[in-house]
Amino acid sequence: MNTVFIALGSNLDNPVYHVETGIRDINNLPETEVIKKSSLHKSKPVGPQNQPDYINAVIKIITNHEPLPLLDVLQDIENKHHRKRVERWGPRTLDLDILIYNDLIINHERLVIPHPEIINREFVLIPLKEITNYDFIIPKYGKLLQYI
């Protein structure tokens, strides 16, 4: 089994609903179980400001899916939530980002792990801190607490 942290974000069409059902959808994937979930955090949009506030959360899962197959099934879930890729940095019904996958460092054209923005985004760092220990290490970047 692999330990993976995933960030969820939504700012359209009842964001709380999309984040909560997104977590349920991930838990329903085969050979996958959500073992920790942060509370839901409301945040101002990073990037373009002319969009609604976000609801963000981070979960910890265990899964048998390898990184790219996991990315595929997460994108299926995003699509099921009617995510339309209209504009970059624009509003979305559900965004699922793989943050950390075991202690792997991956630089693939479809997938960079740890997520390259992890240390810059408060809406990820704060919920991640909530579900990890005080000495938690982000692969490649080091102690989580130094970024908060």
Let me know if 13 is a catalytic residue.
no
The size of the interface with ligand ROI (CB under 6 A), counted in residues, is: 11
Instruction: Answer yes or no whether residue 93 interacts with ligand ROI by CB under 6 A.
Output: no
The nearer residue to ligand ROI, 66 or 117, going by C-beta atoms, is 117
DSSP symbols for the chain: -EEEEEEEEE-SSSHHHHHHHHHHHHHTSTTEEEEEEPPPEEEPPSS-SSSPPEEEEEEEEEES--HHHHHHHHHHHHHHTT----STT---S-EEEEEEETT--EE-SS-EES-TTGGG-HHHHHHHHHTS-TT-EETTTEEGGGG-
User: Is 137 among the residues that bind ligand ROI (CB under 6 A)?
Assistant: no
Q: What residues from 5 to 64 belong to the interface with ligand ROI (CB under 6 A)?
A: 9, 43-47, 54, 56
Select which of 13, 83, 88, 135 is catalytic: 83
Annotation marks residue 85 as catalytic:
no
Looking at the annotation, which residues are catalytic? 83, 92, 95, 97
